[in-house]
Amino acid sequence: MAKKIRILDRFIGQDYEPLVIAEIGINHNGDFEKAKKMIKDAFASDAECVKFQCHIIDDEMIKNDVIPGNTDEPIWKLVERCSFNEEQEIELKKLTESLGMIYLSTPFSRAAADRLERMNVPAYKIGSGECNNIPLIRHVASFGKPIILSTGMNDLSSISESVSILEDVGVDYALLHVTSIYPTPYEKVRLHAIAELKKQFPNAIVGLSDHSIGNYTCFAAIPYGASILEKHFTSDKNWNGPDIPVSITPDQLKDLINGSKAVHKALNGHKEILQEESPTIAFAYASVVATKDIKKGDLLTEDNIWVKRPGTGEIRAKDYEKLLKKTILEDAKKDTQLKWSMIKN
């Protein structure tokens, strides 16, 4: 049986429809009402899971003026503005769960991880920037809950160090391929990396956290083995925020969810003739017919037999050449579908 992990009552693996994670992240820009609206809009789009980011800035970073590539303000100011307190995050979790969805959050520090553990989150999402943060990964793994680990800005060697910790502790885990470019050009998405993760880490569930525009690459990731699809999500593309340009809207989220289910269903099966194709075979195939009146004892040639629809005749087009230069045993009118009993062996 294919491997799987479980978050609450949701099983995740290749035997199941992909789990789509609506990454709200910091798209609320510090506005609590926007955060709640995005939860409700994700639910209205049939989402199973939403994800936030948990920032406790004093434990996360020292004060600095570093400006990320997807914004024009220092990361300190951005994170400070977008941080919610514990009571607010508890309220967001309660709202999410009241709607029957899974609440996930990414801790960016030890204090944030401890807060999420107090909140009793069912699993943890570790961001790409923390993929090689060995102390934090070891700390989060100590909680014994499933971990979804993004792997942007890391190679197989650096990922291996983190995976070793997860396997030593014995927690279930998933690895998400990520390209940390905002937005990601399609030629930089590198979907084959999902297959590489799957091969290199056979105990892992694999998936894609995507920063390209639209849903195209998420759909294409499923045949590579992606069981988790994560996209930044916003209620309104006109809102301000560094991740808004790479975010999908409620309509796009609904399309991603429905489309991923369709693609997953379409993966199964082998190249064989299906019983359900029989009605189409009846009109689409061709049968061998007389193209003119043929007399008993005549030789069959390209001049008096050919193949025509429908495929309801006894002798199908594939056997046409077997009849050439054979003798017919009875008269046949033009457009008669020939039978084997009419042919002299």
- Mean pLDDT computed over every residue of the chain: 97
Residue 69's pLDDT band (cuts 50, 70, 90): confident
Is the predicted pLDDT of residue 82 greater than 80, yes or no? yes
Residues pairing with 175 in the sheet: 149, 206
Give the CATH number of the domain where residue 328 resides.
3.90.1210.10
Query: 8: how many CB neighbours lie within 10 A of its CB?
Result: 14
Report d(CA 132, CA 101) in Å as an integer: 29
Q: Does residue 88 lie within any of the structural domains?
A: yes
Domain assignment of residue 242, yes or no: yes
Most distant CA atoms of the chain, gap in Å: 100
Instruction: Domain of residue 334: give its range.
Output: 275-344
Same domain, 67 and 142: yes
260 with 324, same domain? no
Distance between CA 134 and CA 161 in Å, rounded? 8
User: At residue 190, what are phi and psi to the nearest 5 degrees?
Assistant: 60, 60
Q: What is the DSSP string of 276-295?
A: GGHHHHHHHS-EEEESS-B-
DSSP lists the bridge partners of residue 148 as 125, 174
The verdict on 55 and 201 lying in the same domain is yes
Neighbouring CB atoms inside 10 A of 10's CB total 15
Residues 223 and 282 in one domain: no
163-197 pLDDT, tens digit per residue, is: 999 999 999 999 999 999 999 999 999 999 999 99
**pTM score:** 0.93
Question: What does the pLDDT look like over 237-266, one tens digit per residue?
Answer: 999 999 999 999 999 999 999 999 999 999
How many other C-beta atoms can be found within 10 angstroms of the C-beta atom of residue 202?
8
Q: Kindly list the distances between the CA atom of residue 302 and the CA atoms of 65, 307, 322, in Å, as whole numbers in the listed order.
A: 84, 10, 12
Identify whether residues 256 and 292 lie together within a single domain.
Answer: no
Radius of gyration of the chain measured on its C-alpha atoms: 30
Q: Tell me, what CATH number does 171's domain have?
A: 3.20.20.70
Domain assignment present for 3: no
Q: Which of 266, 299, 330 is the last residue of a domain?
A: 266
Q: How many domains does the chain have?
A: 2
Three-state secondary structure call for residue 268? coil
